Structure 1
Amino acid sequence: MMKMKTLFFVLSLISGLFLMPTIQAEVPTQTQNDRQSVTLDVQNMTCAMCPITIRKALQRVEGVQSAKVDFDSKTANVTFDPQKTNIEALINATTNVGYPATVHPDK
């Protein structure tokens, strides 16, 4: 009897998943004013895990839209919303996880 109740419960859950209406959220489009990009020179990168740690630290900063960290060039390219964060906060985020950063000079 217990097996029948368990089977009924599992089948009810599965069928409920297929019958649930789907909800789609509208993603707001961003204008150029909502994003700014910066390249940071990052110190202390010594292994393949370093870029992952740095990327995660940058992604935790509110307003960061993307963060790409390159081990070979020791840089991080960050796109962010300047109304929610700033370059100083990005540098603080990398520094706080052990990777001090500075703004990469334009060439």
Structure 2
Amino acid sequence: MNAPLTPYERNARRQAWLAFQAQLAHLDARLARIDCAVGALEAEQRQRRRAQAQAARAAAAAHQREYESAQAARQQRMAGGLTTAFLLGAGAVVSGASMRHPMGLRELD
């Protein structure tokens, strides 16, 4: 069977065990620092994504407002053009009905 350990061997094993425990504690602290750094990077990334999404929404809203403004201006110009065309057409019909050809000829339709 196993022979009992001498005090020197017991002390050497105890020292090895303590060194092992110290290394584990050191690795545990290092992992905790890494975990903290990863958490900070993830939080920063989430914040950056939120800011990008907010900027994209603001740009889309500005683009939509610009489009709607241009659309309203086009509709206003079209309405003004139709009104002018209608008035000029009506005026031409009214004035054309009473006008005679300068040489006395009838207009050909």
Give TM-score, length-normalised by structure 2.
0.20
Which structure carries more strand by proportion? 1
Which structure carries more helix by proportion? 2
Structure of higher CA gyration radius: 2
More contact order relative to length (CA 8 Å, sep ≥ 6)? 1
Give TM-score, length-normalised by structure 1.
0.20
